[in-house]
């Protein structure tokens, strides 16, 4: 077994793990409002469970997309890493990680009495399986795929670590939850653009396969803008204008980059996965880190 392949299977190439830590810890940070309680046992268990759910979901997605990635000019390395590990072994990794995350949430329930944590964990696992596994395979269902992906990978983990520390979910929190979920869905729509040929060949009706490149980028812009407005509203409500600006500035810049891609696509210059990764990921990473800093520094 090559550890490099394990890293690729779980999408752990730097700087992606930075974003995973943010997704896992956001809820606790917004619930606590300071770094003081981040080392508490409930927080640590919830963040650990979220990280397992995230990497387990990404590993399962690589197994599910093995055929598609094999035909993808730029993402073939994902399929090769999965095959070198063995699809059965990769699947066992994913299932074990999801099951361990669920077990940690059951421990949280039994030790704190917060049953909602276990319920959210079950929902994360169900949506993760629904997104990846036939016959449901929600990735094939157009816009439903990105929405489910954003909810299971970011939205529900936010609520899980938030409720794990015992905080009531305030009205502004629902706006932050909805905002980060919709932003993730918008980026998933955007990320489907270079996959259009491979998805179409495999019969997977992702947004790019359904709407073409310009149409998908228009959809991504609309979804991202909606997420920005909702997120900014929640942050402004709780942290004021400065907190809202800090939380959405990098994501607004990312939206500007997607709009520029749309203009290029209409002129016949189609984006590649490497270009999206190179030009878009830095804004995403900075934006996610700032969203973690805002509640802790307020």
Average confidence (pLDDT) over 7-21:
93
What's the rounded Cα separation, in Å, for the pair 229 and 183? 10
| Predicted model pTM | 0.94
What's the rounded Cα separation, in Å, for the pair 246 and 240? 10
* 225 neighbors 280 (Cβ within 8 angstroms): no
- Count: domains in the chain: 1
What's the rounded Cα separation, in Å, for the pair 56 and 79? 16
What is the DSSP annotation of 153-188? IIIHHHHHHHHHTT----HHHHHHHHHHHHHHHHHH
Average confidence (pLDDT) over 51-68:
92
Average confidence (pLDDT) over 234-257:
97
Q: What is the pLDDT of residues 178-194, one digit of tens each?
A: 999 999 999 999 988 87
Confidence of residue 62 (pLDDT cuts 50, 70, 90): very high
Q: And the tokens for 63?
A: 């197994």
Specify the 3-state DSSP secondary structure of 141: strand
Q: At residue 114, what are phi and psi to the nearest 5 degrees?
A: -90, 85
Report DSSP state, residue 152.
I
Nearest to 286 by CA among 15, 3, 76: 15
Which residues are within 8 A (CB) of 151 and not within 5 positions of it... i.e. 6 or more apart?
A: 127, 181, 185
- Using CB atoms within 10 A of its CB, is residue 183 exposed (0-12), middle (13-18) or buried (19+)? buried
Q: And the tokens for 37?
A: 């309680």
Find the domain containing 192 and state its range: 3-297
Confidence of residue 263 (pLDDT cuts 50, 70, 90): confident
Q: Which residues of 72-82 are buried (b: 16+ CB within 10 A; e: fewer)?
A: bebbeebbebb
């Amino acid at each position: 077994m090559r550890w490099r392949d394990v890293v690729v299977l779980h999408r752990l190439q730097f700087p992606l793990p930075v974003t995973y830590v943010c997704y896992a810890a956001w809820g606790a940070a917004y619930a606590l409002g300071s770094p003081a309680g981040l080392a508490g046992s409930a927080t640590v268990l919830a963040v650990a469970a979220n990280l397992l759910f995230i990497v387990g979901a990404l590993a399962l997605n690589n197994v599910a997309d093995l055929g598609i990635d094999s035909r993808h000019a730029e993402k073939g390395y994902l399929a090769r890493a999965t095959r070198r590990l063995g699809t059965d072994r990769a699947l066992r990794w994913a299932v074990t990680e999801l099951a361990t995350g669920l077990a940690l949430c059951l421990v949280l329930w039994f030790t704190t009495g917060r049953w909602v944590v276990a319920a959210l964990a079950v929902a994360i696992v169900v949506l993760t399986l629904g997104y990846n596994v036939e016959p449901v395979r929600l990735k094939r269902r157009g816009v439903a795929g990105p929405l489910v992906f954003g909810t299971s990978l970011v939205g529900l983990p936010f609520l899980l670590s938030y409720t794990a520390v015992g905080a009531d979910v305030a009205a502004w929190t629902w706006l932050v939850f909805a905002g980060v979920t919709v932003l993730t869905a918008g980026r998933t729509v955007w990320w489907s653009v270079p996959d259009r040929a491979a998805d179409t060949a495999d019969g997977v009706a992702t947004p790019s396969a359904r709407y073409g490149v310009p149409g998908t980028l228009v959809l991504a812009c609309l979804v991202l803008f909606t997420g920005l407005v909702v997120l900014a509203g929640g942050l402004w409500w709780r942290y004021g204008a400065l907190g809202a600006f800090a939380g959405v500035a990098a994501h607004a810049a990312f939206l500007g980059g997607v709009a520029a891609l749309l203009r290029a696509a209409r002129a016949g210059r189609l984006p590649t996965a490497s270009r999206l990764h190179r030009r878009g990921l830095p804004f995403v990473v900075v934006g996610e880190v700032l969203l973690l800093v805002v509640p802790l520094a307020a």
